[in-house]
Amino acid sequence: MLKFTEDHEWLDIEDGIATVGITDYAQKALGDVVFVELPEVGATYSKGDEAAVVESVKAASEVYAPISGEITAVNTALEGEPALVNSAAMDQGWFFKMKVEDEGELDELMDETAYADFVAGLE
């Protein structure tokens, strides 16, 4: 199940685990990503907490925990190859995985169509 936030993050939920990344729209807006600061595995975040930072040459942006829960994995490939966020934002460029603590939070997120409309509204 694919979900989106208004902060241009995507979540792919499977078996109670959400894989989180930033959307293609976000990576284009940021430009060349040069560094990603990832959370620690085992850390717990509430929805909206700053969980990661993504940096381009000129800007640094926070990536917020889109839901509450514990970090179960991080994409260490980004440490050596931050460009993955640009080249494969929606799959190999994922940031972290977290346990879905409260299924109800998922309902507040957008689905693919709603996000596409949301982005269209921004342009």
Partner 1 sequence: MSMNTQGRPTGVEGVETQPGQFESFSGHVGLRLAEPLIFELGSTDTTGVDVPEVEDFDMCLGGLERKSEIGCPGLSEPDTVRHYTRLSRRNYGIDMGVFPLGSCTMKHNPRLNEKMARLPGFGDIHPLQPQSTVQGALGLIDELATWLMTLTGMPAVAMSPKAGAHGELCGVMAIRAALEARGDAREIVLCPESAHGTNPATAAFCGYKVKSIPAKENGRVDIEALKAALDDTVAAVMITNPNTCGLFETEIREIADEIHKAGAFFYADGANFNAIVGKARPGDLGVDAMHINLHKTFSTPHGGGGPGSGPVVFSDALKDFAPVPYVVKDAEGFHLVENKEGKSFGRMVAFHGQMGMYVRALSYMLSHGSDGLKQASEDAVLNANYVLASLKDVMTPSFDGPCMHEALFDDRFLKDTGVTTLDFAKAMIDEGYHPMTMYFPLVVHGAMLIEPTESESKANMDQFIRSMRGLAAAAKAGEVARFEGAPYHAPWKRLDETQAARKPVLRWEAGE
Partner 2 sequence: MRYLPLTGADREAMLAKIGVRHVDDLFKDVPSDVLNPTIDLPRHKSELEVERYLSRLAAKNTVAGTVPFFVGAGAYKHHVPATVDHMIQRGEFLTAYTPYQPEIAQGTLQYIFEFQTQVAQLTGMDVANASMYDGSTATAEAVLMARRVTRKKKAVLAGSLHAHYKAVVETTTQYTDDEIVCLTPMPADPEAELQAAIDAIDDATSCVVVQNPGVFGHVLDLTKVAEAAHAKKALLIVVVTEVMSLGLIKSPGEMGADIVVGEGQSIGNGLNFGGPYLGLFATNDKLVRQMPGRLCGETVDADGKRGFVLTLSTREQHIRREKATSNICTNSGLCALAFTIHMTLLGEAGLRGVAKANHKAAYDLKAAMASVPGVEVLNQTFFNEITLKLPVAARAVVDTLADRGILAGVPASRLYPGEGLDDILIMAATETVTADDIQALAAALKEAF
Residues that bind partner 2 (CB under 8 A): 35, 37, 55-60
Cβ proximity to partner 2: between 16 and 31 the closer is 31
- Mapping DSSP onto H, E and C, the string for the chain reads CEEECCCCEEEEEECCEEEEEECHHHHHHHCCEEEEECCCCCCEECCCCEEEEEEECCCEEEEECCCCEEEEEECCHHHHCCCHHHHCCCCCCCCEEEECCCHHHHHCCECHHHHHHHHHHHC
Which pair of tokens denotes residue 27? 């990576």
Cβ proximity to partner 2: between 59 and 116 the closer is 59
88 binds partner 1 per the rule CB under 8 A:
no
Cβ proximity to partner 2: between 19 and 56 the closer is 56
Among partner 2, partner 1, none, partner that 60 touches (CB below 5 to 8 angstroms by kind) = partner 2
Cβ proximity to partner 1: between 57 and 116 the closer is 57
- Give the one residue of 21, 39, 69, 82 binding partner 1; rule: CB under 8 A: 82
106 binds partner 1 per the rule CB under 8 A:
no
* Count, residues near partner 1 per rule CB under 8 A: 7
User: Would you say 7 and 65 are in contact if contact means Cβ atoms under 8 Å apart?
Assistant: no
For partner 1, the binding residues (CB under 8 A) are 32, 34-35, 55, 57, 82-83
